[in-house]
Amino acid sequence: MIGAASAPARGTPENGRTPFPPPPLRVPVVALLVLVSLLFAWTLVSDRMARWSITGPIAFALAGVILTRGADPVVPLNLETHAFERAVELVLAVVLFTDATEARGYEPMGRSIGQGRLLSLALPASVALAVLVGAALFPDRGWWLLAVAALVVMPMDLAPTLMFLRDERVPARVRNALNVEGGYNDGLISPLFTFCVANLVSVKGGSFTELVLNALRGAAYAILAGTVLGVLTAQLARRALDAGWTGRAGLRLATVALPFLAYAASVLAGGNGFVAAFVTGVWYARTVRVIGHDILELVHDESHVLALAVWFTFGKLAADEFSNGVGLRSVGFALLALTVARFLPVIAALIGTEFSPPERQAIGWLGPRGVTSIVFALLAYAQIPEHEGTFVLNVMCTTVLLSVILHGITLEPIARWFQRHPQPQAGPASAGPAR
């Protein structure tokens, strides 16, 4: 994603001689050297940094701020190029695929973790509340733009709070509910996001009915492509392993190709590439439960590296957006999106489930924002008019930055509270579905 090949080349030296290698290659090579060195260095100190609450997203965002600033930055990023837009789309395809495969890992626990309510009730209510908050704070903005902004800032990303999901002081059902919700919510939001963006860019295009039909057609093609590809590749992988034609190392490599294959096949068929990658991951996860989760290790590592690249880009975006100050209305929107728009729907949706009140409150508060919001905002910026795209970037940067700060400083107190106040475990009678 950090494709510096589109950066402008530096000029020829005053002596007129052409250096070797040629000038157009120098900037991309320097940027590549810096980025891979940064990645290598981070892998050596990541565990130590985690003890000080310095996560990968925070480290790479700070690096993005430092290395992309100035008239002649060390790592130039050109967000206007078609290549950058396509790279962002592929990143989202990989993220959606891995999220789907991770979420399916919790299905053997049954539906007692409340994911049905979180996804079917709380998520749409949260998006609707965010739209209403945006309308109150930005009355000069259109409804479609406010819908895009709400869809950008509401998806969860658990990467900034990964240590919390592994903290055994926190009840397992709380961590599992967050993990499943985080795995599915971006996949459910992506087709609606694509539809709302299409309404903003259709100046003289088709009618609203035509846009709806196109969106439904694209989603149908994507679901069909993802289902066929997911089922077919799952069967092929199992048969090839059983027949001794391949090993686990080969399957790990094959799995890396799947999100790209799903995206490309769906787009060529006229479908939504993001939905196809997500659906493929949902179906392919069935094979993972039979063969073993180790075949996902390589694609998850790939997703992690791409996510760090997105956080690096976020550092540049945040620095650019906040260079002239932060608007109070944007801060207000971000705070309400992180609190009221998230908290109230989750609390209401989980009433009557096995979750205790403190557990419901923890799930309602812990909705960190991250990679999905950043990628959605970049895609919107690349497609909608510039002044509207700038608005979306601004509210996204404000929301994600506040999320990193607020959720980061509250994770440890929440874990300590649960350690001091153990929650009652669900008995056999209460282990049924949380409808």
Domain ranges of the chain: 26-423
Q: End-to-end CA distance of the chain, in Å?
A: 40
- What's the CA gap between 337 and 130, in Å, rounded? 6
CB crowding 100-111: b at 16 or more within 10 Å, else e: bbbbbbbeeeee
Which residue has tokens 């694209």?
A: 218
What are the pLDDT digits (tens) for 286-321? 777 777 777 888 888 888 888 888 999 999 899 888
122 has a pLDDT exceeding 70? yes
Q: What is the pLDDT of residue 246?
A: 86
Burial of 139: CB neighbours in 10 Å, binned 0-12, 13-18, 19+: exposed
Q: Which residues contact 28 (CB under 8 A, 6 or more apart)?
A: 4, 5, 7
Query: Which residue type sits at 93?
Result: A
Structure tokens at 77: 């990023």
Q: What is the pLDDT of residue 340?
A: 93
Which residue has tokens 């001689």?
A: 17
- What's the CA gap between 375 and 396, in Å, rounded? 10
272 has a pLDDT exceeding 50? yes
- Which has the minimum average pLDDT: 196-210, 214-228, 254-268? 196-210
Q: What is the pLDDT of residue 191?
A: 87
377 has a pLDDT exceeding 70? yes
Q: How confident is the model at residue 432 (pLDDT cuts 50, 70, 90)?
A: very low
Q: What is the pLDDT of residue 212?
A: 78
Q: What is the pLDDT of residue 1?
A: 39
Neighbours of 390 (CB within 10 A): 13
Q: How many helices (H) and strands (E) does the chain have?
A: 17, 0
Cα–chain center distance at 411: 20
Q: What are phi and psi of 132, to 5 degrees?
A: -65, -40
Which residue has tokens 């600033």?
A: 69
Q: Which residue has the higher pLDDT, 328 or 116?
A: 328
Q: Is the dihedral of CA 104, 105, 106, 111 positive or negative?
A: positive
101 has a pLDDT exceeding 60? yes
Opening angle at CA 136, ends 369 and 339, nearest 5: 30
Residue 194 zone, left/alpha/beta (φ > 0; ψ -120 to 50; rest):
alpha
Asked if residues 180 and 112 have their Cβ atoms less than 8 Å apart, the reply is: no
Ranges 11-20, 25-34, 69-78, 191-200, most confident: 191-200
Cis peptide before 23 (omega within 30 of 0): no
**378-401 mean pLDDT:** 91
CA atoms within 13 A on the CB side of 54: 13
Q: Which residues contact 432 (CB under 8 A, 6 or more apart)?
A: 110, 111, 112
Mean pLDDT value across the chain = 82
CA atoms within 13 A on the CB side of 166: 6
Tell me the pTM.
Answer: 0.84
Q: Which residue has the higher pLDDT, 113 or 29?
A: 29
- What's the CA gap between 280 and 263, in Å, rounded? 9
152 has a pLDDT exceeding 90? yes
Structure tokens at 126: 């949260």
434 has a pLDDT exceeding 50? no
**CATH code of domain 26-423:** 1.20.1530.20
Nearest to 341 by CA among 98, 135, 81: 135
Nearest to 413 by CA among 370, 371, 361, 369: 361
- What's the CA gap between 90 and 72, in Å, rounded? 28
**325-351 mean pLDDT:** 92
Q: How confident is the model at residue 256 (pLDDT cuts 50, 70, 90)?
A: very high
- What's the CA gap between 235 and 419, in Å, rounded? 44
- What's the CA gap between 248 and 264, in Å, rounded? 25
Opening angle at CA 62, ends 59 and 65, nearest 5: 155
R_g over Cα of the chain? 22
433 has a pLDDT exceeding 50? no
Asked if residues 126 and 364 have their Cβ atoms less than 8 Å apart, the reply is: no
- Which has the minimum average pLDDT: 43-47, 76-80, 150-154, 255-259? 76-80
**380-392 mean pLDDT:** 89
What are the pLDDT digits (tens) for 180-190? 888 788 888 98
108 has a pLDDT exceeding 60? no
178 has a pLDDT exceeding 60? yes
**194-208 mean pLDDT:** 73
**392-414 mean pLDDT:** 90
Q: What are phi and psi of 203, to 5 degrees?
A: -70, -55
Q: What is the pLDDT of residue 103?
A: 66
Q: What is the pLDDT of residue 207?
A: 67
Q: What is the pLDDT of residue 203?
A: 52
Helices (H), ranges, 202-296: 208-242, 248-268, 273-291
Structure tokens at 292: 């073993």
Cα–chain center distance at 353: 28
Give the percent of the chain with pLDDT over 90.
Answer: 26
